[in-house]
Amino acid sequence: MDERTGLPIVGMVGAGQLARMTHQAAIALGQSLRILADSAHDGAALIAPDVVVGDYRVLEDLHTFARGCDVLTFDHEHVPNEHIAALAAEGVAVHPGAAALRFAQDKQAMRERLTAMGVPCPRWAPITDAADLESFAAEVGWPVVLKASTGGYDGKGVWVVGSADEAQEVLGSGTELLAEERVAIVRELAADVARSPFGQGAAWPVVETVQRDGINVEVIAPAPDLDDETAEYAQSLALRIAAELGVTGVLAVELFETAEGLLVNELAMRPHNSAHWTIEGACTSQFEQHLRAVLDYPLGSPAPIAPVVVMANLLGGPDDVVPKALDERVHHLMAHWPDVKIHLYGKQFRPGRKVGHVTALGADLATVRRRATEAADYLMNGDRT
Amino acid sequence: MDERTGLPIVGMVGAGQLARMTHQAAIALGQSLRILADSAHDGAALIAPDVVVGDYRVLEDLHTFARGCDVLTFDHEHVPNEHIAALAAEGVAVHPGAAALRFAQDKQAMRERLTAMGVPCPRWAPITDAADLESFAAEVGWPVVLKASTGGYDGKGVWVVGSADEAQEVLGSGTELLAEERVAIVRELAADVARSPFGQGAAWPVVETVQRDGINVEVIAPAPDLDDETAEYAQSLALRIAAELGVTGVLAVELFETAEGLLVNELAMRPHNSAHWTIEGACTSQFEQHLRAVLDYPLGSPAPIAPVVVMANLLGGPDDVVPKALDERVHHLMAHWPDVKIHLYGKQFRPGRKVGHVTALGADLATVRRRATEAADYLMNGDRT
C-alpha cells in the first residue's frame, strides 16, 4: 500500500518495454509501478521513479525488491522458478505464481501438460541425443524443429534441422531440447486473455501475428477472415489453459492455424507483443488488464474500439539510425501519418531489436495495414530513394 | 536532447495532474517529462523520475530547471510573466511564450486584446472602486460578475455581486479587478485547439462543459445538438485566437452559448480539463498534442474515435474517503463499469478538489452520460443507501 495515495504498489521484475508500458497504465490507476531493473538505462528505468537495480537471478535481490510491494509480477519469464516459489512460501503475493509460470518457462513441461489436457499441439518429443532425433523424424518427417526447453525468445533457441548431422552442434551443446514436427502453417494467430486470482477471465479478439525471420513484425486485430467458430474456440481454449494452469495476469497463447485446425505453439504469462494493439485499440489495454488481474481487481472490458487495428513493430535496422536521424524521422512520420500512434521504448538501436511499435486504427483492412507497415518501415529505414 | 535516447527533453513547470498525464504521453514518444515540482508529493512527482523540487516564482529555480531541457512548458499559468520573458531572452525555448501567456494570466489584458480583435466577449470594464462598479452596473444591470484579473481558477477569484455594497470587501482587498456582465447562459462550451511554433493548427470537436458551483464536473464530446455552423465557427475562432496571440501548445477557449451567439469566457494555454476526454476519445490526446506542439513536431489527428465521449471529474467529497475506502471503491467501480476508464491523480482528497476523472465512450448520449456520471458519483460518495 502506498501511504501517499492509499493505493496498492505493484512490483514488476524486469525493466523492458513491457514494464515501461505497464507504468503508463499504472499512472491512470493512481499508482506508480515499482521496477527491478538490470541497469538504470533500461527502457522502463528511464521513465519511472521507483526503480531498484538488481539481479533477478539472485533471491536476495528479489527479496529486497518485494519488500513493500502488494504484489510481484514479471516483464519476462527468466526469473528462476524456485525463487518465485520461495518468495510465495514466505508470503509474498506473486502473480503469475511459480506453478503456472513453469509452463511458460519450460517448453517440455508445457507440452506435457497441454498434451495431458488434450490441447492440440504439434507432435513433439524430448530429445537427448541423435538417436532420439532420428527416431522422432522417422515418425514426423524431416525437417524437424528443435527447441531449447528454456531461455528462448524471438526466434532464439529454435533450430530447423534437416538431418541429425545438422543438429550435431546443438545436440552437443548441453541444452535441454525438445523436437517438434514442422507444421504446415497457414498463418499464426494469438489468443490473448487475462485471468484474475478470483478466477475472472477476459478475452481480447483473436489476432493474426505476422512473422519475419522468426520475429513478430505485424499484428492484425481481429485476425482477418477468421470464422466466428474458430475465433471462439481459440478464446475458450486460452481461457481454459489460463484456468487449468492457474495463470494470473495476461496469458498469450500463440497458435498455428493449419489445414487441420489450430495448434498451440507457445505460452507467455505476461503482457505480450501480440496485444500491444490493445493500448489504443481496445477498451482495456493489456497493460491495464495485467495490473487489474495481478491486483485481483475486476477485469476491464476487452472490447475492440475500431473494426481494424494493426500494430507494426519497429525493429532496429542497419545502425545508420543514429539518435539525430531518429528525431528527424519522428517528425516526418508525424507529418505523413498524423493518425498513426508511435511507441518508442527508450532502447539503443541494434539490428533486429524491437525498439518500438506503431499502431493504426480504421475501418478498411488494406488501408490500415498499409499505413501501419509503411510508417514502421519509414521510421526504421528512412527515405531509401 | 536526451543522450540515452536521442530524443528531446521537455521540461514542464508544475507537477499536478496535467504534468502527470503529459508524462504518460511523453513515454509513448520515447521521452520522459522533466518536472519542476513544489514538493516531492505532487501528483506528477510520484510517477516520473526526472523531478526537480523548486519554486516556480524564483527565476534562479527556473534557470536551474531549464538547463538541459529542449523546451520549457507549463502545467499552470502562475509562473511570473517577466520570468518567462527573461528565460526566453537568454535563449531558452519556452512554449507558450510570455507574450501569448500574458493573455491567459491577466484577464484584463485578455479582454482588451480579444475586444480589439473583434472577438465576441461579455461586456466588461476595469474596476478600481465602487463608482466604477456602479457606473458599469448602470449600463449592464445587476448582478455583475467581478473577477480578479490574475490568479483565479476553478471558480476562485470570481464573485457575483448584486450591489456595490456586496462588493465592498473585495473592492477593498487591493485585488486588481474587472467586471463582466452576467450573461444569460444557455450552456458552456469549450473549443480546444493546438498550435505549433511552425504555425500548424488542429482543433478537437467542440465540447459542452457542465459546471457545478463554478467547477467543471462533466464534459460531453461533441457538444450535443450543436449545429455544424456554430461548431465550425467556434473552432475557427479558437484557431484564430491561437494564431493572433501566438499561442504554442494547447489553447482552451471556454465559451458561453447564449441566445445571441457565442461569447468567449476564458482562455487557458496548456492542457485543460475540457479536453481530458481526448485521452481515450480522440486519435491524439491533448497531452500528446501539447508535447508535439511545444516541440514543433507535426500535430496529430484530433479526430474523435467514438460518437459520444463523456468525462466526469472526481471531486473530493466529505473526507470519509480514506485511502482504504478508495481502493475498495476502485474495485467496485471496475466491477460495475468495466468499460469506464479511471484516472486518479495521486492527490490527497479535499472537499471540492479534483482528484481524478473517469471517461466513458459509446454511441448513445444518455447511456454514456449516465455511465460516466454514475461511476464518478460512486467513486466519490460510495454506496449511500
Residues B86 and B218 in one domain: no
Residues from chain B contacting residue A324 (CB–CB below 8 Å): 6
Residues from chain B contacting residue A15 (CB–CB below 8 Å): none
- Number of structural domains (chain A) is 3
Of A29, A51, A346, the CB nearest to B344: A29
Q: What is the CATH number of the domain that holds A339?
A: 3.30.470.20
Instruction: Give domain status of residue B4, yes or no.
Output: no
Question: What is the amino acid identity at position B264?
Answer: V
Of A4, A46, A303, the CB nearest to B46: A4
User: What's the pLDDT at B126?
Assistant: 96
Instruction: Give domain status of residue A117, yes or no.
Output: no
Residues B71 and B134 in one domain: no
Q: What is the CATH number of the domain that holds A142?
A: 3.30.1490.20
Evaluate if residue A349 carries a pLDDT over 60.
yes
Q: Which of A181, A198, A222 is at the close of a domain? A: A181
Q: What is the pLDDT of residues A154-199, one digit of tens each?
A: 667 899 999 999 999 999 988 899 999 999 999 999 999 999 999 9
Evaluate if residue A110 carries a pLDDT over 90.
yes
Residues from chain A contacting residue B24 (CB–CB below 8 Å): 24, 27-28
Residues A337 and A191 in one domain: yes
Least confident of A65-79, A232-246, A316-330, B249-263: A316-330
Q: What is the pLDDT of residues B96-137, one digit of tens each?
A: 999 999 999 999 999 999 999 999 999 999 999 999 999 999
Instruction: Give domain status of residue A105, yes or no.
Output: no
Average pLDDT (A84-94) is 97
Cβ count near A323 (within 10 Å):
16
pLDDT confidence band for A1 (50 / 70 / 90) = confident
d(CA A205, CA B217): 34
d(CA B70, CA B66): 8
Of B323, B324, B338, the CB nearest to A301: B338
Instruction: Give domain status of residue A65, yes or no.
Output: yes
Q: Do A323 and B5 touch (CB under 8 A)?
A: yes
Q: Which of A139, A163, A181 is at the close of a domain? A: A181
d(CA B258, CA B183): 8
d(CA A335, CA A318): 24
User: What's the pLDDT at B45?
Assistant: 97
Instruction: Give domain status of residue A111, yes or no.
Output: no
Residues from chain A contacting residue B42 (CB–CB below 8 Å): none
Mean pLDDT of chain B: 94
User: What's the pLDDT at B385?
Assistant: 43
Instruction: Give domain status of residue A134, yes or no.
Output: yes
Residues B173 and B317 in one domain: no
Residues A298 and A198 in one domain: yes
User: What's the pLDDT at A385?
Assistant: 43
Residues B353 and B209 in one domain: yes
User: What's the pLDDT at A322?
Assistant: 59
Residues B366 and B223 in one domain: yes
Residues from chain A contacting residue B322 (CB–CB below 8 Å): 6
Residues A159 and A190 in one domain: no
Residues from chain A contacting residue B326 (CB–CB below 8 Å): 6-7, 30
Instruction: State which residues form the domain around A58.
Output: 10-94
Q: What is the CATH number of the domain that holds B84?
A: 3.40.50.20
Q: Do A298 and B326 touch (CB under 8 A)?
A: no
Mean pLDDT of chain A: 94
Instruction: Give domain status of residue A266, yes or no.
Output: yes
Residues A68 and A162 in one domain: no
Q: What is the pLDDT of residues A137-163, one digit of tens each?
A: 999 999 999 999 987 666 678 999 999
Evaluate if residue A54 carries a pLDDT over 60.
yes
| Optimal mutation site among A3, A46, A337, interface B, most CBs of chain B within 10 A | A46
Q: Do A47 and B48 touch (CB under 8 A)?
A: yes
One-letter-per-residue 3-state SS of chain B:
CECCCCECCEEEECCCHHHHHHHHHHHHECCCCEEEECCCCCCCCCCCCCEEECCCCCHHHHHHHHCCCCEEEECCCCCCHHHHHHHHHCCCCECCCHHHHHHHHCHHHHHHHHHHCCCCCCCEEEECCHHHHHHHHHHHCCCEEEEECCCCECCECEEEECCCCCCHHHHCCCCCEEEEECCCCCEEEEEEEEECCCCCEEECCCEEEEEECCEEEEEEECCCCCCHHHHHHHHHHHHHHHHHHCCCEEEEEEEEEECCEEEEEEEECCCCHHHCCHHHHECCCHHHHHHHHHCCCCCCCCCECCCEEEEEEEECCCCCCCHHHHHHHHHHHHHHCCCCEEEECCCCCCCCCEEEEEEEEECCHHHHHHHHHHHHHHHHHCCCC
Q: Do B343 and A283 touch (CB under 8 A)?
A: no
pLDDT < 70 regions, chain B: 152-155, 318-324, 383-385
Residues A271 and A304 in one domain: yes
Cβ–Cβ < 8 Å for A169, A205 = no
Residues B89 and B175 in one domain: no
Instruction: Give domain status of residue B377, yes or no.
Output: yes
Residues B329 and B192 in one domain: yes
Of A41, A342, A356, the CB nearest to B4: A41
User: What's the pLDDT at A321?
Assistant: 56
**Dihedral Cα A287, A289, A291, A295, nearest 10 deg:** -170
> Measured between CA atoms, how close is B276 to chain A, in angstroms?
12
Q: What is the pLDDT of residues A310-341, one digit of tens each?
A: 999 999 876 655 566 888 899 999 999 999 99
Q: Which of B181, B201, B216 is at the close of a domain? A: B181
